[in-house]
Structure formats: C-alpha cells, structure tokens
C-alpha cells in the first residue's frame, strides 16, 4: 500500500506567519482598513459624479426651456398672446414664397375692432386690454392651427390663411365676425354704438408678383371699405 500524501497547508506559509506575527497582523489590518477607506472614497466620488451629471442634465434642460421661452417671447405680443407685427411680416414673406413655389392659394384677413376708442374712453384701458385678449382668443378659436394670428397694432389683428382660397377665406372671416359679435361686449352705459364688433378685410394672392406689403395693402383697403360701409361686416378686395 502506497504511503498517503500528507495534506497541503490551506494557507501559504507567509500568511500563516503573518497571522501568527502580531506586528504583521496589525500591518495587514491597517492595509485592509486603508483599502476599505479608498473604496468608500471611490463610492462617494462616483455618487458625486452622478449627482453632477444629473445636475448638468437638469441645467441643460432648464437652459433649453429658457431659450425656447425667450424665442417665443421675442415673436409674441405679450397682451394678446398672438404673434407680433415683426414675426407676422417674416411669416407672410415666407408663406408667399411657398405659395408661389407650390402654386397653392393664400389669403390674408385684416380685422379692426369697431368703436374700440369709445369703449376705452368709457371703461378705461384695463377693461380695453381685457377686450383685446377676449377678441384675440375668439379669433384663434375660429381659425385653424396652421393659420398665423398676429396683432398688427393697437386694435387691429391680422391672420395669414395658408392654402386658403378667397371663398374659404370669406367663410372664415364671416365666422370670426359673428363670433366676436356674439361675445356681446358692451360698455358700462350699454349704448348701442358702444357694442363691440369687428370689420374685416380679405385679400387673396392673385398676382405672382404681389409683395407682402402689397397683399397687406389690398386687405387693409378692403378693411377700411368695410368701415366706411357701416362696420361689423366683411369686404373682399
């Protein structure tokens, strides 16, 4: 029978010696504590790095939202929340180019609030501002989302009606006029002449050479024809 092989030591000799040597044992314990400390520092650093990355992402989102708000504010009338005159003219020039290129109709509405000065003089400018907001919202509610509603100035509004024929533009204009009339806004004295309505001028692109200013002028001429004809009506250029 072959002699049995003696069992090997589970621990290497130097580790056994270290475990039996108090000085070496303390050194190993200190090394273990140092490594644990470094591990804790590493975890803390990773946590801080993640927090910094999350903070950066949140800051980037806030900056993007702020830039978008600033961009929107730069093209928006603050009172009525419609587009402002500058943005309207930029859009009109762009949309006219598209209409010529792709050969589709485009129309323009010009609207003016009737007797607004009387209303302002009777009720004050704060009440007048509220009326401007109500009428602006009424206009936006009656046109399509693709249409561009802007405050032209004072108590005048304008709407770019994209891919809209003259017949369709007249239907939209009449719908807007009726909606404003049905708001039933009167002055405190409720005199008939103080009841607010809108006069509307409609122009459609007929000539390929017509400029943005030319389209505005033809719609504006139709608007003042509506005023001269008695107000609260729509006239086609």
C-alpha–C-alpha distance, residues 213 and 65, integer Å: 34
**pLDDT (tens place) for every residue of the chain, 237 residues total:** 555 555 555 445 555 555 567 888 888 888 888 888 888 888 888 888 888 888 888 888 887 888 877 888 799 999 999 999 999 999 999 999 999 899 899 999 999 999 898 888 888 999 999 999 999 999 999 999 999 999 999 999 999 999 999 999 999 999 999 999 999 887 655 555 557 899 999 999 876 667 999 999 999 999 999 999 999 999 998
pLDDT digits (tens, 9 = 90+) for 206-219: 766 679 999 999 99
Question: Does residue 121 contact residue 129 with C-beta atoms inside 8 Å?
Answer: no
Return the axis-axis angle of helices 125-142 and 166-181, rounded to nearest 10°: 140
Same domain for 209 and 130: yes
Does any domain span residue 80?
Answer: no
pLDDT digits (tens, 9 = 90+) for 85-126: 999 999 999 999 999 899 899 999 999 999 898 888 888 999
Same domain for 92 and 68: no
CATH assignment at residue 163: 3.30.70.270
Does any domain span residue 33?
Answer: yes
DSSP annotation string for 103-149: T--EEEEEEEEETHHHHHHHH-HHHHHHHHHHHHHHHHHHS-TTSEE
Domain boundary among 74, 109, 143: 74
Same domain for 229 and 182: yes
Does any domain span residue 153?
Answer: yes
C-alpha–C-alpha distance, residues 171 and 176, integer Å: 9
Annotation marks residue 155 as catalytic: yes
Domain of 48, in residue numbers: 13-74
Same domain for 54 and 146: no
Is the CA virtual torsion 60, 64, 69, 71 positive or negative? positive
Question: Does residue 126 contact residue 171 with C-beta atoms inside 8 Å?
Answer: no
Give the pTM. 0.74
Bridge partners (DSSP) of residue 56 are: none
Element (DSSP H or E) covering residue 62: helix 22-74
What is the predicted pLDDT for the residue at 15? 52
Same domain for 93 and 200: yes
Q: Which of 204, 208, 236 is nearest to 222 (CA)?
A: 236
Query: Which of the following is catalytic: 77, 112, 147, 155?
Result: 155
Same domain for 96 and 189: yes
Same domain for 26 and 90: no
Same domain for 221 and 129: yes
Q: How many domains does the chain have?
A: 2
Does any domain span residue 18?
Answer: yes
What is the predicted pLDDT for the residue at 5? 56
């Amino acid at each position: 029978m072959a002699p049995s092989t003696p069992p090997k030591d589970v621990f290497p000799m130097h580790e056994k010696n270290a475990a039996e040597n108090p000085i070496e044992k303390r050194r190993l314990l200190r090394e273990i504590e140092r490594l644990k400390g470094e591990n804790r520092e590493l975890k803390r650093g990773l946590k801080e790095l993640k927090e910094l990355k999350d903070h950066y992402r949140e800051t980037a989102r806030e900056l993007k939202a702020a830039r978008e708000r600033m961009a929107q504010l730069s093209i928006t009338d603050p009172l009525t929340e419609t587009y402002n005159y500058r943005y309207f003219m930029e859009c009109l020039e762009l949309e006219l180019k598209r209409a010529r290129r792709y050969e589709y109709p485009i129309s323009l509405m010009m609207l003016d609030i009737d007797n607004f000065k009387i209303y302002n003089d009777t009720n004050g400018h704060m009440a007048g501002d509220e009326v401007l907001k109500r009428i602006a919202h009424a206009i936006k509610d009656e046109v399509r989302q693709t249409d561009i509603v802007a405050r032209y100035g004072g108590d005048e509004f304008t709407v770019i009606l994209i891919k809209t024929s003259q017949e369709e533009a007249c239907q939209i204009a009449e719908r807007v006029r009726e909606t404003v009339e049905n708001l039933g806004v009167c002055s405190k004295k409720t005199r008939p002449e103080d009841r607010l309505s809108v006069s509307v001028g409609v122009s459609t692109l007929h000539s390929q050479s017509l400029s943005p200013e030319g389209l505005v002028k033809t719609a504006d001429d139709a608007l003042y024809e509506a005023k001269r004809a008695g107000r609260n009506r729509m006239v086609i250029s």
